[in-house]
Structure 1
C-alpha cells in the first residue's frame, strides 16, 4: 500500500507538471468544479452561468466584461472523451420555454467546455490580439463531495460519530432499532447485510427530505450501476471491543474500506484532484426553514468538507493533490430571490458564519475562500405589502406544486433573518428543537416566464460577482 501511494503521488506530480507546461505553450484552461448540497440548484447554476457568459448583458460585475475585453464566447466539445457532456441546451430550454420548469437534476459527473476570447488589459491590449481561455465546468453530485470526510476515518470512527448524531433524530428510529438487533452477530448471511443497508438508506432518504446535509456515504442515494454491490451494502454498527473475525461487524468494516478505496477514491483521483476552482452551492434557507438542528448539521457538514483541506496533517486529500490545489472556493447560499433584497446581507452573513469556524481552522494553505448569497435564475419580483398597519417586504412568484406543475401567483414574507448570525447558530449548537424568537417560512417557486432581449442571459442575483471571484483573475 505504501509503494502504491508513493507511485500515485509521483504520477500526480508528473501530471501537475505536464499541466503547467501545457499552460505555457497552449491556451490556458480553468477547471471549475460545481457541486451542491441537497436541493441547492446545481443544474440551474451551471445553465445560467453558461447562458450569461454567452450573452453577457447581465454580467456587469465581471470585470473583463465591464471593460469590454471579452470579444466572444462559444461552446466547444469537452476534452474528456469518457465523461458525459452537461446537457446545457435541454436545461436552458426548460428554463426558457413558454411554460418554464426547473430542469432535472444530474445524477453523475458531467462536463462542459466554454471558451472565451479575451483581449489583454493594460499596455498589452494594443500590442496583442485576443487570447483564448477555456473554462471546463465539471458537474458532480454534492453527496459525493461529502465523502471527503470519510476518507481519513476508520469504520469504527465513522460508525461512532454517525450513531451519535442519529440518536437525536426521529427519522432514524427504524434504522437504530435494526442496527441494535445486528450488534454482536457472529453468524450472518447476505440478506442480513442487505436488510441493514436498506434500513440505513431509507434513513438517508428521510434525512434528506427533512433538510439534513450529512448524508454519507454519498453513493447510497445515487448508486447508479453499483446498486446492490457489496461496496454499497454496509451500515454503521455500534463499536465492538473484540469483534469476531468472520462476524458481521468485521464484514461491515471490510465493505466500508472497499467503498473508500474502490468507489470514493477513484472519483477524487480522476476528477476532484484536477480542479482549480470550486463552488459549493448551499440551500441555507432550506436548512433555516427546517430548524436549528438542520442548521447545525449543515454547519458540521461544511466543516467536514473544509477540514479535508486542512494543512499540517497527512490527510487523504493532501496526499492525493501532491502540489496541486484548489485555488479558490466559493460557498454560495442559493435562492436569494426568495428574500427581499433588504435581507440579502443577512443571508450572506449567515453563510459566512456557517463556514467561518472551519475556514479559521483549515486556513487552506493559501486557498482563497468567499461566501455570498446568490440566485442563479431569479424566479420572483419584490413588492411591499401592508399587514396589520406595518409594511412587509415580500417576494411574489408562481408557486410550484408538489407534482412539479405551475400553480397560482402568491406573495411570501419569509420572516426577518437576524443581522447577527449568532441568533441562529447559537440555538443550533445548543440543539434546540425550534427557533425561540421567530419562524422562517419558505415556499417553492416555479421559474418565471422569461422575455429575454438579444444579448441577455437569464436574470439572476450576484451571479456576475460569483463569476468574478471564481475566474476573474484568469481573464
Structure 2
C-alpha cells in the first residue's frame, strides 16, 4: 500500500467521522447502494421502491408501515451536488403511461434522497415525537464492482488471466475475431495508435458479445459504459501476450501504462468517493436469464457473485481497507423477475439464489454484516393462473409480450428442487441442461390503474425494504 492510499484512507476516516457527528446532532442518513449486472432491473427496482414508499398501500410487510408508524415520506433535494439525480419522475412516467414502457437501464452512477417521518418504537415511544430518517439511494452499474480485482493485478497478470479465459470453451467463440487479430500483433513493436485502437475495439466487442450471450464475469467494466472517457487512452488498451523484450515505446509498455491509469483514474475514485460511503446494499441478479442461457452462463454468474462479494470484504492487506471507514451492515442478494414464475416455484428460485452465492458467503468475513437472499419482482408484470395439463394442474403466468404486445400465458419449465444439481452441472463444464431447459419471455410493463395510495404492484418489495432499512425505522 502506497503513501497515497494511506493519505486517502486517513481523509476518508476524517470525513466519515464528520458525517457521523452531523448525523448524531441532526437526522440520521442511511445510504443504500443498488447494483446488479446488466438487465437485472436496477432502474425499475429504485423507481418502484420510491413510488411504493411514497404511496404505501402495497408495503404491508414493511414493519413501520404495517404498524402505522410512518407519518409521511417525501423527496428531498439532491444530497450530492457532484452526482446526477436519479430521474425518478421520468422513469415513473414511462411505467405509468397509457402504453407503458420499461425505463432505460443504468449507465452511470446517480443518487436520490427520500426522507421518512416515523414514530419511534418502544416503551417511551408515546413521549417521543416524530423523527426523520433520510434514505440516500445510490444507483451504480454492477459491472463497476467487477473492476475491483484489477487493483490486485499488474498488467502482465491481468493479460494472462484474460487471455486464458478468452480461450476457454465458454468464451472462445465470442473471442475468435479478437484473438485472430491479436495473432497479427507484435507486442514488442513500437506503439502505433491505429493498432492500439483496433485492439481496444476488438476486445470491447468481445466483452459485448459475452454480455449478449448471458455471460457476466468480465472486466474492465467501463469498456462497455465509457461515458465521457470514450476514446481516452485510459480506455484504449487490451490484453497482450507478454513479449521477451519490450522497449519503453512499445505497444506492451503503452498498454501497461494505460492499464495502471485505468485503475488510478476510474477504479479508485469510484470506491473512494461512492462505494466506501454505503451502509446497506442490494445486489440484483437476473438468475432466470442466466439459467435460460445455459450452464456456462450460470457458472459465469457464480464467479461474478464471488467477485462482487469481495468488494464487501476488504481483508487486512487489501488496498480497499484504507478507504472503508464505513462498513456495509446488510447485504441482500435478490433474484429479480420472480413474476416470470408461478409462486409455487419461488422457493426454488430463492434456493438457487442462495446456492449461487453460498461459497463466496462462506469464504467472506463480513465482520458482523447480515446477508440475505430472496426472489422478488419490483414491478409485477404478470398474473397467475392454473390450467389443466394431462389431468394435472399446471401453474402459469400471463402477461403482455414485450415484442408483440399480445397477451400470452407461459409455463417456463420447472426449476430443480435441489439447487446443487443445477450448480453442479454449471461447475462441471456442461454445455447444456439435460432436459429442455427453461424458457424466458420478456413481458411488457402492466397497464396500471393508478389506485390512490398504492404504488406499482410488486412481489416482496416490502420484505426487501424491511430487511434493508427496517431496523432504522424503529
The TM-score normalised by the length of structure 2 is 0.96
> 331-340 or 147-156, which moves further after superposition?
147-156
* Conserved? CA contact 2:187–2:240, under 8 Å: no
In structure 1, the residue matched to 2:395 is 393
In structure 1, the residue matched to 2:126 is 126
1:198 to 186, 195, 201: 201
1:241, distance to aligned residue in structure 2 (A) = 5.1
> 242-251 or 357-366, which moves further after superposition?
242-251
* Conserved? CA contact 1:308–1:315, under 8 Å: no
In structure 1, the residue matched to 2:379 is 377
CA distance in 1, matches of 2:65, 2:30: 17
Secondary structure in 1 aligned to 2:123?
helix
1:205, distance to aligned residue in structure 2 (A) = 1.1
Compared CA separation, residues 182 and 313, structure 1 to 2 (3 A): farther
* Conserved? CA contact 1:310–1:361, under 8 Å: no
In structure 1, the residue matched to 2:286 is 283
Secondary structure in 2 aligned to 1:366?
coil
In structure 2, the residue matched to 1:255 is 258
1:125, distance to aligned residue in structure 2 (A) = 1.4
- Write out aligned runs for 1:20-35 (5 A): 20-35=20-35
1:141, distance to aligned residue in structure 2 (A) = 1.6
2:319 to 292, 316, 319: 316
CA distance in 1, matches of 2:13, 2:430: 47
1:301 to 301, 304, 308: 304
* Conserved? CA contact 2:6–2:322, under 8 Å: no
* Conserved? CA contact 1:232–1:259, under 8 Å: yes
In structure 2, the residue matched to 1:172 is 175
1:385, distance to aligned residue in structure 2 (A) = 2.0
Matching of residue 143 in structure 1 with residue 146 in structure 2: no
Compared CA separation, residues 399 and 449, structure 1 to 2 (3 A): same
CA distance in 2, matches of 1:425, 1:245: 46
1:188, distance to aligned residue in structure 2 (A) = 3.1
1:242, distance to aligned residue in structure 2 (A) = 4.5
**Superposed CA offset, 1:18-49 (max 9, x none):** 11111110100001111120101111000000
In structure 2, the residue matched to 1:443 is 441
The TM-score normalised by the length of structure 1 is 0.96
CA distance in 2, matches of 1:386, 1:132: 52
Matching of residue 292 in structure 1 with residue 290 in structure 2: no
1:220 to 220, 223, 231: 223
Matching of residue 335 in structure 1 with residue 337 in structure 2: yes
* Conserved? CA contact 1:353–1:421, under 8 Å: yes
CA distance in 1, matches of 2:242, 2:361: 31
In structure 1, the residue matched to 2:71 is 71
* Conserved? CA contact 1:28–1:134, under 8 Å: yes
* Conserved? CA contact 1:35–1:279, under 8 Å: yes
> 360-369 or 88-97, which moves further after superposition?
360-369
CA distance in 1, matches of 2:421, 2:432: 12
* 4+ long deviations beyond 6 Å: none
1:393, distance to aligned residue in structure 2 (A) = 1.1
2:406 to 405, 408, 426: 408
Secondary structure in 1 aligned to 2:284?
strand
* Conserved? CA contact 2:331–2:468, under 8 Å: yes
> 140-149 or 385-394, which moves further after superposition?
385-394
1:188 to 180, 186, 191: 191
Matching of residue 230 in structure 1 with residue 230 in structure 2: no
1:154, distance to aligned residue in structure 2 (A) = 1.9
* Conserved? CA contact 2:305–2:356, under 8 Å: yes
* Conserved? CA contact 2:49–2:461, under 8 Å: yes
In structure 2, the residue matched to 1:368 is 370
Aligned pairs, number: 470
**Superposed CA offset, 1:284-325 (max 9, x none):** 10000000000000000110111233354311222221x321
2:348 to 339, 346, 365: 346
- Write out aligned runs for 1:33-72 (5 A): 33-72=33-72
1:427 to 425, 428, 433: 425
* Conserved? CA contact 1:281–1:332, under 8 Å: yes
Secondary structure in 2 aligned to 1:407?
coil
Compared CA separation, residues 424 and 243, structure 1 to 2 (3 A): farther
CA distance in 2, matches of 1:254, 1:137: 35
* Conserved? CA contact 1:38–1:142, under 8 Å: yes
In structure 2, the residue matched to 1:102 is 102
> 146-155 or 304-313, which moves further after superposition?
304-313
How large is the RMSD of aligned CA atoms in angstroms?
Answer: 1.4
In structure 2, the residue matched to 1:209 is 212
> 433-442 or 155-164, which moves further after superposition?
155-164
Secondary structure in 2 aligned to 1:303?
helix
Q: Structure 1: where are the runs of 5+ without partners? A: none
